[in-house]
Structure 1
Amino acid sequence: MNEQASKLVLALDIGTTSVKALLIDRLGQMKGRVSIGYPLNIPRPDMAEQDPDTIYEAVATAVHRLLQETGTPATDLLCVSLSSAMHSLIVVDAEHRPLTGSIIWADQRAVEQADRLNADGTGLAIYRRTGVPIHPMTPLTKLLWLREHRPDLMLPGYSYVDIKAYVLQRLFGRSVMDYSIAGSTGLFNLHELDWDGGVLELLGLSAAQLPELVPTDHVMVGLQPGEATKLGLLPDTPFVVGASDGVLANLGAGVMNTDRVAVSIGTSSAVRTVVPEPLLDEQGKLFCYALTKGNWVVGAPSNNGGIVLRWLVEQLFADELGSGEGDPYERLLELAQQAPAGANGLIFLPMLTGERAPYWKADTRAMYFGLSLSHGKAHMVRAALEGVMAQIASIVQLLEGLHVQPREVWASGGFTQSVFGCQLMADMLGLPVCVPQLIESSGLGAAMLGYAAMGKPMQAPSAEAAASQTRYLPDPARHAHYRKLLELHARVYEGIKDSFHDVIALQAEDTANLMGVLK
């Protein structure tokens, strides 16, 4: 093997809770891993921000530490390739100093702006040009909120970037954004591969106030010397701009056509597949993001995945699961298995943090429906888990409405460590569920993109993964039962959706009254 072919890619995955730096060789094997966490700031219940400089320092530390711990000389790197969480927004001044925190996807302050766009049809028109459902998570609605509530942050000399563009600005003195991340902002016209003129007019912005747009395989060279030293890299180390973590997860998992869908369940969850050209649905409920030329990722996220399990452990069963031996989450899943499929008619809508897909309403809330004296703790836990899977199944049904007919599911995330969880997913979806034995898929996808951008394509991992995957087949009887359950879930939601706003208003009133008493 020649010297160039033996070099490594350093994949840098900038996530919501941590940055992960991975060393990956051309065979897809991980040679080292470092993770550096950082805090989430919640100034008030509907806000979620992070400090961009803290994240940058974590990036620099992770890269430097990875090279030191693995004993890898900087000369052994073919490139650094980036992955990043979507939907972040940072306002920077003319000197590129941050004027706000990094407002992340979980921030809900722009509910009113999103509802207004959706109510008058403007949102659907924007969706048809941008491929992004209108929701408070998007930088589009966050910018509308800033224009209305913080006009001092919407001045001609200011710029609006995401966390990856901010990091690249620190490294290269140049602000760029790849088509994938841009596609998640609500400001990017997916048909023209450019900032959307109509959206810019709506926001009162110019294209000069946004990062330069580049393909995901764009290569940057020329690190600022001080930053190169800080990271332990050579100034001429190539950086591949990369893409969002979601689309790279599909690449890393080998889910690159509509025969498969990728389902990831972490704190939240998402369903994605890959199509050869932009694909939109009439209701504006599925996203469509660019990956590489001829590869577009279509799907949708749900707010509620593992966070539902955490709520059960911490709020409902803290006394009995918080003490004693064994992992409390494993014990929770064992409890769920004591109830039958369908939880004896108990329904749980899992919208503890509002919801994106399939409903795209930030003001939804969770509820149990059908609770009776015959239901115990096991039924409540099983109904909650089935509610999470029902949201995922509803997203798959949205894809099937676009004539996407997957034959199998490739699953990832903490949920896949449970045999019961994987079988529940197979039974709910009526599809085989495969759990490949892969390293972190977003980081692997970033490495694959990096090798390809440098002209040294790495073999897709799907063939090797297929040999080592665990496969779960759906039970026909349970699937038939769950099809009825899915219909009931949808009817329950439709019956109560108009009441959520009133519930939230009461919660706000109670909070205000409590604060008045405390004063």
Structure 2
Amino acid sequence: MDYIIGMDIGTTSTKAVLYDLKGKVIDYTSNSYELLRDASGMAEQEPEEILEAVTSGLKRVIGQIDWQKDKLKAVSFSSANQSLIALDENYQPLTRIITWGDTRAAAAAEKIKNSDQGQELYERTGTPIHPMSLLCKILWLKEDVPEVYNKAAHYCGIKEYVLYRLFGTWQMDVSVASCTGMYNIFELQWDEKALALTGINQEQLPKVVDAYEQFSGMKEEYTKITGCPQDVTFVQGAFDGALSNLGVNAIDDGVAAVTIGTSGAIRMVSDHPVIDPKGRIFCYALTKNLWVIGGPVNNGGVVFSWARDNLFDAEKSTADLLQKDSYDLLTEVAAQVPAGSDGLLFHPFLGGERAPIWDANARGSFFGLTQMHTRAHMLRAVLEGIVYNLYTVLLALEEVVGQPKSILATGGFARSELWRQMLSDVFERPVTVPQAFESSCLGAAVVGMKSIGVIDELAEVRNFVGKTETYAPNPDHFDVYRELVPIYIRLTRQLKTEYQTIADFQHKYAQKEPETN
């Protein structure tokens, strides 16, 4: 038997899936790690924890291979994008991993956005101006943490750091590079004006390679830990969002993929870069010949988790006693409330927001609360708010690339029948849920298969996705959602003027130590 491993170095965990060459899952493992947060907007991780998660994951799934009769053809990588590590001249970390969710570069982002350079930078790089980008993070280090900036000889993201540690390679795939805000997506090279703004040069950044780039020769200390032979081929891969589209077969024209995990996104694929004149959506590479256009949101399943932990703590405990998934129990509660939550709206901006408003200071809110509303109403409003927000991203995407012919839904939320139906009702079109397991890992494996010649084209992923289930929109809910969504959008615009004010207040007082007598 021949095998391939798809490995996803994600925001909250690293997953490794062992597939046969027909895309069948043979084994799976997931290793979680802590996301370090505080009131300043910090969202960091320890590089060594993630390196250990990668080696542990490889060891686990490689352990299923019988080396006497089986062969591991390749290991291919997916990773979260827009993470930053500053390194010294010896490639030793000067920072932890500053993740995409870190908002401390908000002031730097606003400064660029309000300058003459902001829109031009976006139009060359395809990355909206936001604290998530490496461009803004490096500017923040330069202006606010000069002791790190002045010592930094190199910069990279988590995948590049892990591969450097394992192999000594210093390279970044075009997919991750295109998410940095410093890579010209039309010239396929680091953007000189973006680098000049940060004060760094391209020698401080990894060499950019395509997704199919192969390498081997894992360092001996890690071959001993993982059990991986040194001659196994490794493939660079791409960033997780692009590979998720590939992993559910959403790479044809007119096919949109909606993903809600911890965060969320809507993405479509094109054979050429596409830029939004209003700067609301991104354009990132999958490979040098395929481009992913879409919008990410910060607030997906993490908002549902917040509602569970803060509004339904007792029910969570009950679910534990019944050995029942707490999310399943709560969706049953939310399903008892009519569509539209009897006029209760929720803006899910608990972690700022990316698309389509790109405002790190955005804050969450309930609107329309009355004495008749219950916790169940609030829970359904939370779920609907997440979907409303994704729908506003779809509206922006439609302006730029046209209406999708079909929509595929993936991620943890896709397990919920209520959410699938809600998505179809708000979007007013059928939503198809593929059976594909860990779509980013499968996407990475498919890239690996093409790299080593097992398949001829990425479109052969259609043979690996498995069964699908389609949900049709319920016409009885159209009038409700058609009336509420415009109110939701108008409120977002009206509240925007106060997001900065309340964020400043929170930053001012949240870190104060309580007075003691």
Q: TM-score range by the shorter chain?
A: over 0.9
Q: Which of 389, 392, 395 is equivalent to 2:393?
A: 395
The answer to whether 1:164 aligns with 2:146 is: no
Q: Is the 8 A contact 1:74 1:233 kept in 2?
A: no
Aligned mates of 1:393, 1:461 — CA distance in 2? 27
SS in 2 for 1:402: helix
Q: Which moved more, 1:221-230 or 1:347-356?
A: 221-230
Match of 2:501 in 1: 502
Distance 1:392 1:430, change over 3 A: same
Gap change, CA 1:157 and 1:346, over 3 Å in 2: closer
Match of 1:430 among 408, 411, 428: 428
2:507 partner letter: A
Q: Which residues in structure 2 correspond to 1:78-93 (within 5 Å)?
A: 78-93=73-88
Could you say which residue in structure 2 is the equivalent of 1:193?
188
- CA positional deviation for 1:461: 3.7
- Alpha-carbon distance change, 451 to 490 in structure 1, aligned in 2, over 3 angstroms: same
SS of corresponding position for 2:129: coil
Q: Pairwise CA RMSD of aligned residues?
A: 1.9
Shift of residue 21 of structure 1? 1.5
Pick closer, same or farther for the CA change 1:157–1:262 going to 2, 3 Å. closer
Aligned to 2:336: 338
2:307 aligns with 312
Pair 1:493–1:481, CA change in 2 (3 A):
same
**In structure 2, distance between residues paired with 1:74 and 1:505:** 62
Query: 1:449 maps to what in 2?
Result: 447
Q: Which residue is 1:114 aligned to? A: 109
CA contact (8 A) 1:87 1:104 kept: yes
Map 1:3-152 → 2, pairs under 5 A: 7-42=2-37, 44-71=39-66, 76-152=71-147
Give, in angstroms, the shift of residue 464 of structure 1. 6.1
1:54 and 1:75 map into 2 onto residues whose CA distance is 30
Which one-letter code corresponds to 2:481 in the other structure?
Y
| 1:3 aligned residue | none
Post-superposition CA distance 1:163-195 (Å, at most 9, x none): 111111112212100000011111111001111
**Which residue pairs with 1:237 in the alignment?**
232
Q: Which secondary structure state, in structure 2, belongs to the residue aligned with residue 517 of structure 1?
A: coil
Q: CA deviation at 1:317?
A: 2.0
Q: Which of residues 367, 381, 384 is equivalent to 1:383?
A: 381
Question: 1:156 & 1:126 partners in 2: Cα distance?
Answer: 26
Contact 2:251 2:269 in 1 (8 A): yes
**2:372 equivalent in structure 1:** 374
Q: Which moved more, 1:230-239 or 1:355-364?
A: 230-239
For 1:69 and 1:275, how far apart are their aligned partners in 2? 38
Checking the alignment, whether the CA contact within 8 Å between 1:266 and 1:414 is kept in structure 2 is: yes
Q: Which secondary structure does the structure 2 equivalent of 1:443 belong to?
A: helix
In the alignment, the residues of structure 2 paired with residue 422 and residue 463 of structure 1 have an alpha-carbon distance, to the nearest angstrom, of 24
Distance in 2 of aligned mates of 1:63 and 1:464: 22
Answer yes or no: is the 8 Å Cα contact 1:423–1:474 preserved in 2.
yes
2: distance between equivalents of 1:314 and 1:10? 35
Aligned counterparts of 1:65 and 1:338: Cα–Cα separation in 2:
42
Question: CA separation of 1:263/1:73 partners in 2, compared to 1, >3 Å: closer, same or farther?
Answer: farther
**Inter-partner Cα distance in structure 2 for 1:177 and 1:445:** 18
* C-alpha distance after superposition, 1:302-357 (max 9, x if no partner): 11111121111111221344335333322221222222211122111111111111
Alpha-carbon shift at residue 68 of structure 1 (Å): 1.5
Distance 2:327 2:139 in 1: 40
Q: Which residue of 1 aligns with 2:359?
A: 361
Quote the residue 2:213 is aligned against: 218
Q: Give the aligned residue type for 1:141.
A: C
For 2:97 and 2:504, locate their aligned partners in 1 and report how far apart those are by CA, in whole Å: 28
Q: CA deviation at 1:465?
A: 4.2
Offset from partner CA, 1:341-387 (integer Å, 9 cap, x none)? 11122111111111111111010111111112232222222221111
Separation in 1, partners of 2:289, 2:511:
52
Moved more, 319-328 or 375-384: 319-328
Mean Cα deviation higher: 63-72 or 424-433 = 63-72
Query: Using the alignment, how far apart are the partners of 1:427 and 1:490 within structure 2?
Result: 17
Deviations, residues 406-452 of structure 1 (Å, cap 9, x unaligned): 12211111211111110000000111111111111000000000010
Please tell me the residue identity of whatever aligns with 1:357. A
**Would the alpha carbon gap of residues 121 and 75 (structure 1) be closer, same or farther in structure 2, given more than 3 Å must change?**
farther
* Secondary structure of 2:291's aligned partner: strand
Q: Percent identity?
A: 39
Could you tell me how far apart the structure 2 residues matched to 1:336 and 1:359 are?
27
Matching residue's letter, 1:436: P
Aligned to 1:482: 481
Contact persistence 2:15–2:28 (CA under 8 A) = yes
TM-score, length-scaled by structure 2: 0.95
Q: Kindly provide the CA deviation profile for residues 272-327 of structure 1, in whole angstroms up to 9, marking residues without a partner as x.
A: 11011001111111111111243111111111111121111111221344335333
Question: In 2, are the aligned partners of 1:74 and 1:234 still within 8 Å (CA)?
Answer: no
Preserved CA contact (<8 Å) 1:110 1:136: yes
C-alpha distance in structure 1 between counterparts of 2:295 and 2:37, whole Å:
25
Distance in 2 of aligned mates of 1:228 and 1:463:
33
The more displaced of 269-278 and 18-27 is 18-27
Q: Secondary structure at the match of 1:322?
A: helix
8 Å CA contact retained: 1:156, 1:209: no
1:282 and 2:281 are equivalent in the alignment: no
1:259/1:463 CA distance change after superposition, 3 Å: farther
Counterpart Cα distance in 1 of 2:43 and 2:68:
38
Q: CA deviation at 1:19?
A: 1.2
- Comparing 321-330 and 112-121, the one that deviates more: 321-330
Q: Which residue in 1 is equivalent to 2:406?
A: 408
Q: Which amino acid aligns with 1:367?
A: S
Give the 3 Å change call, closer, same or farther, for CA 463–504 of structure 1 in structure 2: same
**Alpha-carbon distance in structure 1 between the residues aligned to 2:464 and 2:60:** 30
- CA–CA distance in structure 2, aligned partners of residues 445 and 400 of structure 1: 25
**Unpaired segments of 5 or more residues in structure 2?**
none
- Mean CA deviation greater in 327-336 or 416-425: 327-336
SS of residue matched to 1:481: helix
**CA separation of 1:73 and 1:251: change in aligned 2, threshold 3 A:** farther
Structure 1 range deviating more: 146-155 or 65-74: 65-74
Corresponding residue for 1:469?
A: 468
Q: CA deviation at 1:206?
A: 0.8
The answer to whether the 8 A contact 2:86-2:152 is kept is no
Deviates more, 1:388-397 or 1:54-63: 54-63
Provide the rounded CA distance (Å) in 1 between the counterparts of 2:293 and 2:241.
10
Distance 2:418 2:270 in 1: 31
Within 5 Å, give how 1:239-254 maps onto structure 2.
Answer: 239-254=234-249
Task: State the partner residue of 2:177.
Answer: 182
Give yes or no for contact 2:62–2:226 (8 Å, CA) kept in 1: no
One-letter code of the match for 1:251?
Answer: L
Alpha carbons of 1:171 and 1:464: their partners in 2 closer, same or farther (altered >3 Å)? closer
Alpha-carbon distance in structure 1 between the residues aligned to 2:229 and 2:463 = 35
Match of 1:419 among 402, 417, 420: 417
